[in-house]
Amino acid sequence: MIARLSDRPSGNATPIDPATLLGQWINYDTSSRNITGLTIARRGDAVTLRIAGAPDVDWGEVALDPFSLTTAGGEAAAFRAAYDFGFARIAILAYLNKRLLVVDAYTTFHDDSGRSNYFARDHFWTR
Amino acid sequence: MRFVRAEDRLPNGDAAPGGHVDPSPMLGTWFATDKQSAGVVKMELSERDGAFVVRAFGAGSPDPIDWGEVPAIAYAKSVDSGEGMAVSAVFDFGFEESLLAAYSKGGILVLDTFNTFKDGSGRSAYFSREFFHR
């Protein structure tokens, strides 16, 4: 079944290789008030994400789901992950553009603070 | 007030806007800029009975595939803004789940899709990035 033409199988699918995502990623914008850095690591068969919020808040480690560019799999080109802090939930949606990691944070608040749900984007590099 | 980054905090002295993000700036019918797209070809962002909803259409042959309508979440550019500039929604087709996340910029809607198959078909989870105009 498909929901669009790009859902069609494209030959024998291979597992997604997360190697392109692994490492320590540093924000190009040193004055960002969003995310200062990400660490993506392999833990057995799983891939994990750890985020440092600006200026220095450890968000902890969560599982990360890698995505390829087609149904054939292969090299990872993007990932998604989710943080649930109780008062806020943050969906982390990211993709690679050459060796630039573009990270979007979609935040919803679940307290009575009256803050607006908001979108934030930053760009990251790795050594 | 709890926060996990500086951007979660309200600027000094500012009152919270009340938690409602107005999706109006994003409402309308959006068409893929790529007329040969194999992904999402059209999206309708609208309000129904006060709720923000998204209806999407996938590329099909001969006709687009109507995904139906699902609830959507509107996002502002900051905690103290009430003006919608981004949206997310999840379509669950049973055999596949598609997370749609988009933001508007300069009259264009930039859509990322994160697609995961649940049917044991062996198809890989995949990502797409597409552009839309009204």
Candidates B101, B128, B114, B104; CA nearest to B37 is B128
Q: How many CA atoms lie within 13 A of B58 on its CB side?
A: 21
Query: What local confidence, expressed as pLDDT, does residue B12 receive?
Result: 78
Say what the ipTM of the complex is. 0.97
Q: Give tens-digit pLDDT for A53-81.
A: 999 999 999 999 999 999 999 999 999 99
**Strand A46-53 and strand A57-63: pairing?**
antiparallel
Which tokens belong to B133? 């105009």
Per the CB < 8 Å rule, is B114 touching A78? yes
pLDDT in tens, chain B (134 residues): 899 999 999 987 677 889 999 999 999 999 999 999 999 999 999 999 999 999 999 999 999 999 999 999 999 999 999 999 999 999 999 999 999 999 999 999 999 999 999 999 999 999 999 999 99
Q: Give tens-digit pLDDT for A34-59.
A: 999 999 999 999 999 999 999 999 99
Residue of B nearest to A58 (CA): B4
Query: What local confidence, expressed as pLDDT, does residue A12 receive?
Result: 86
How far is the C-alpha of A40 from the C-alpha of A23, rounded, in Å?
5
Q: Residue A30: pLDDT above 70?
A: yes
Q: Is B62 on the interface with A (CB under 8 A)?
A: no
| Structural element, H or E, at residue A49 | strand A46-53
Per the CB < 8 Å rule, is B126 touching A3? no
Q: Is A118 on the interface with B (CB under 8 A)?
A: yes
Identity of the residue in A93, A104, A115 whose CB atom sits nearest the CB atom of B16: A115
Q: Is A11 on the interface with B (CB under 8 A)?
A: no
- Assign 3-class secondary structure to A54-114: CCCEEEEEEECEEEECCCCEEECCEEEEEEECCCEEEEEEEEEECCEEEEEEEEEECCCCC
Q: Is B73 on the interface with A (CB under 8 A)?
A: yes
Q: Give tens-digit pLDDT for A78-95.
A: 999 999 999 999 999 999
B90: helix, strand or coil: strand
- C-beta separation of B133 from B42 below 8 A: no
DSSP secondary-structure letter at B112? E
